[in-house]
Every structure is written in structure tokens, then in C-alpha cells.
Amino acid sequence: MEMIKNKKITSRDVDFAKWYTDIVRNANLASYSSTKGCIVFEPYSYAIWENMQKTLDGMFKKTGHCNVYMPMFIPESLLKKEGEHVEGFAPEVAWVTHGGSNQLEERLCVRPTSETLFCEYYANKITSYRDLPKLCNQWCSVVRWEKETRPFLRTREFLWQEGHTAHATQEEAEKETYKMLNVYKKFFEEYLAIPVVVGKKTEKEKFAGAEYTLTVEALMYNGVSLQSATSHYFGQKFSKPFNVSFMNKENKLEYAYQTSWGCTSRMIGALIMVHSDDNGLVLPPKIAPNQVVIVPIKNDENVLKVCKNIKTELSRKKIRCFIDDSDKTAGFKFAEHEMHGVPVRIEVGPRDLQNGVVTIARRDTLEKTQIKISESANYVKHLLTEIQKDMFNKAKKHNDERTYVCNTLDEVRNVLATKPGFIKAMWCGDKECELKMKEINGLKSRCIPFEEEHLYDHCVVCGKPAKHMVYWGVQY
């Protein structure tokens, strides 16, 4: 069905960056604050975040994790205990130097991440193998002093969760690392309806201080990739400098094996850039704050009674819904709820009631159909499932169409100049070749997939024998 363009929104095919900003502003997702690089999460975006948080939190708890909360300040001496870690974060760290008018004896870092705090905590709590594993997560905000910012995608303060675990064996810790990556993959694909690529980061792109990093990579509508979640295996690289040790079953002192994993509020940005259109947000039903809006075409007694009855039936089926009986025109309401991406709209008018029907519109396609009032609740329940599935399939089709195999640098340049997306290419494993790829529009390795394809024998850059098939992409 042809969509009627919302005049408030720049076409995404004309200016994707402006389109994104228009969506954020017109869908009431964020406002700019007087603190440069920081945003106000407006009620609607925070409601989306709450649904994400609630869902993920439940998934974490099913896998045995519990929530804790660490301080937001980290003493400089504590941050410096793991050299590779502090070096990786140093350019983005914000420092507190004064308390009131008094200069602090030691600078305090405003947490960019909490590995050091968890290590200090675990060092004090773990003495025996009987104390393990420690499976903790925290929901909080972190600060990273980004030079260039964009709402949700890259801000100086952002919301996230960070899981930190300690284990008695390497095998157990590595199993945790992969398990949590699969939790994220399931969340993105089954709840956000966003298809993803998962795999291992190259040595150059791994988390500072990790033995290795696993990643979830998503492709946006414009062909730019987004690192969406990561899971890190630390081994003993943190436990040794922080003395996270325990007496094992043989009564010998051993250092714990640790992991860390997280995702952030940039998932809201991913939702916008994967699913939305020129009329505003398009939200998958499982994560939408409201799954159904019921719009009375006329606020008379009979119409409102039917609206309330439908709402009652939908609520019984645990469908998040509300009635918009505000004093606005029906056309204004339709446009407003399309802007906010409410998955299903039910229109109830006097003429419809005469025929015993209501009109049901789905946000993802803007298709409308008329259904008997008595059948509307069951129809909507099945429709929400269908929309969730269709949104994933549409995004998957787009990803497939924007994933290219390139075996020369000229082919890589041509893809990025015409219709960018994921590039699959063979790599020799040399860091210099990885840096050479970056010279092409800032192209970076996204991941080495777990199931590698052997596309051809040579490295796309140097022509030497290839070791890995790599997904490459321009990133946010």
C-alpha cells in the first residue's frame, strides 16, 4: 500500500541523518539538554527502554543472574590496576577533581564501565570455590566523553546494563560468555525483530582488557552497521591484578575466570533505523509501550461504550491498549499514533456500529480491514503476532539484499560508493590489512562469524592466503 508521507519528516532516502533527527523530535523520544552531548529521555522513549529492560532483566534472571548496584565514581588508582583497560578508556573518561571548593586528594573517574569496581567487590567476597560462580548484573548509566554525539546512538551519558561474572574454571567462564551472547541474539531477533550477525571481534577491535570479545552486529536501513551488544571473556586478565582469588577443591590458591557483557539504550536508535519510515516510528508489538490504540471517530455514548468493551477484551488477553478519546480530529489522532509507531489502530465510528464492524489498521504496512466487533479482540491478538513476524522478515530481506561478497578492494570501494551494507571478504589476519580496509570510508571489521564461509583463497587486501572470512562495515 502506498504510504502518505508525513510532511514533518524528511524522506529517509533523501537525507537519512535528518530523517533520524526528525523521527526523534516528532515522535517525542528525546530533547536536548543544556548539558552538551546529553539528552532527556522523554516519557515515550523511556517507556520503550523500560520494556527492553523488563524483558532482558527477566532473561538474565532465568539464567541465574541477580542485580546489584555499584558506585558511579572510581578512584584513579583503582582504574589504573589493569593497564590495557585504562588505556582503552582514557580518552573518554570524565574526572571529578573537586568536592565543593576542596580539591580531592585523588581524582575520581565517572564510570565509563564497572569492571574495576566489580573486581574490587569480588576480591572481598570470594575466598573459596564454594563462593563461585558470582553472577551479577547492574542497570545504570555510564559516562564517556564522546566528541560527536547523536541521540541514543552516541551520547556522553547513556543507559545500559553490564553483567559481570566470576567462575572457578575457564570452561565455565567461556560457556557463560557464549550463553549471554545468545541471550542478546534471541532478544534482538525475537523481541526487537532485528536480524543480527554474531561472531568474534578481531584482536584490534576487541574490548580493552579482554581475552576476546563476542559481538552482536545489526544493519541499519541505510547500510551502516551498529554494534548492538557485546560479551567479553576476560580469563584471568582482571582477576590477577585485582587479586580475585579463591582456594580450589585441591586446596590450592587460584585466580577466578571472569566475563563481562552488556547492551545500551542505543537499541532505541536501532529500532528507529531498522524499522521506521517517513510517517514516523514503526515499533515491533513485543516492545511497543502500547500495542493497540482504540480511536472513537465520534465521542458519543454508543461509540465509547463499544470502545470500552473492546479495551476490556484486549486487556483480558494481556494486550497493552488504550482509548484515545481526546478532543482532537480523527485524522490528527491517526497521524499522531502513526508517528508514535503504535502497531495496531482500531477505528470505531457510528457508521461502523450500524454494520457491527470496526476498522483495524496495522502500522507497519498501513493496511486496513474491517472486522466484526465480536471477532476484533481475537483478530488483533493474531495480528500482533503476524506483525512481529513480518517486521523481522522484512528486515532480514533487507539485510540479505545489502550483504555483499567482495574479493578485491575495487569491489569494496564500489559497494561503499553505491549501496553500502555488510561486506563479506576474506582476510589474512594481519592488522596492517585491517587498517588498510579502514582507509576506505572508515570501513571496520564487524566480526568473524562462528560459521565461516570459505569464499575464496586470498586476502582481499594483500592477496596472501586467507585465514578468516570477516564481516566488514561502516559503523555508527
Where residue 84 falls among pLDDT bands split at 50, 70, 90? confident
Given this model, what pLDDT does residue 87 score? Answer: 78
Please determine, for residue 3, whether its predicted confidence score (pLDDT) is greater than 70.
Answer: no
pLDDT, residue 466, reads 98
Whole-angstrom CA distances from 476 to 14, 149, 181, 217, 457 are 19, 10, 20, 11, 30
Residue written as cell 561472531?
Answer: 199
**Would you give the end-to-end CA distance of the chain in angstroms?**
31
Give the mean pLDDT of the chain. Answer: 96
The 3-state secondary structure of the chain, one letter per residue: CCCCCCCCCCCCCCCHHHHHHHHHHHCCCEEECCCCCCEEECHHHHHHHHHHHHHHHHHHHHCCCEECCCCCEEEHHHHCCCHHHHHHHHHHCEEEEEECCEEEEEEEEECCCCHHHHHHHHHHHCCEHHHCCEEEEEEEEEECCCCCCECCCECCEEEEEEEEEEECCHHHHHHHHHHHHHHHHHHHHHCCCCCEEEEECCCCCCCCCCCEEEEEEEECCCCCEEEEEEEEEEECCCHHHHCCEEECCCCCEEECEEEEEEEECHHHHHHHHHHCECCECCCCCCCCCCCEEEEECCCCHHHHHHHHHHHHHHHHCCCCEEECCCCCCHHHHHHHHHHCCCCEEEEECHHHHHCCEEEEEECCCCCEEEEEHHHHHHHHHHHHHHHHHHHHHHHHHHHHHCEEECCCHHHHHHHHHHCCCEEEEEECCCHHHHHHHHCCCCCEEEEEECCCCCCCCECCCCCCECCEEEEEECEC
Query: Given strand 403-405, what is the order of strands in its sheet?
Result: 66-67, 134-143, 157-167, 257-264, 225-235, 212-219, 196-200, 444-449, 468-473, 422-427, 403-405
416-431 exposure pattern, b = at least 16 Cβ within 10 A, e = fewer:
beeebbbbbbbbbbee
Contact 143, 263 (CB under 8 A): no
pLDDT at 7: 60
Q: What is the pLDDT of residue 432?
A: 97
CA 418 to chain centre: 27
397-402 average pLDDT score: 98
Tens digits of residue pLDDT in 435-445: 999 999 999 99
Report the alpha-carbon distance of residue 438 to residue 446 in Å, rounded: 12
Which grid coordinates are listed for 401?
Answer: 539484499
Lookup: cell for 343? 502497531
User: What residue has cell string 551502516?
Assistant: 224
The whole-number pLDDT of residue 280 equals: 97
Lowest mean pLDDT across 88-92, 194-198, 228-232 = 88-92
Please check the confidence at residue 8 and state whether its pLDDT lies above 50. yes
Model pLDDT for residues 216-248, shown as the tens digit of each residue: 999 999 999 999 999 999 999 999 999 999 999
pTM of the model: 0.95
Closest CA to 344 of 325, 326, 327, 369: 369
On the question of pLDDT at 5 being above 60, the answer is: no
State the Cα–Cα distance between residues 173 and 64, nearest whole angstrom. Answer: 14
Residue 102 confidence (pLDDT) above 80: yes
Quick one: pLDDT band at residue 15, thresholds 50, 70, 90?
Answer: very high
In a 10 Å sphere around its CB, with 0-12 CB exposed, 13-18 middle and 19+ buried, how is residue 107 labelled?
middle
Q: So what's the pLDDT on residue 88?
A: 75
What domains can you pick out in the chain, each with its CATH number? 16-275 (3.30.930.10), 292-384 (3.40.50.800), 403-473 (3.30.110.30)
Whether residue 91 is predicted with pLDDT greater than 70 in this model: the reply is yes
CA separation for the pair 305, 312 (Å, rounded): 11
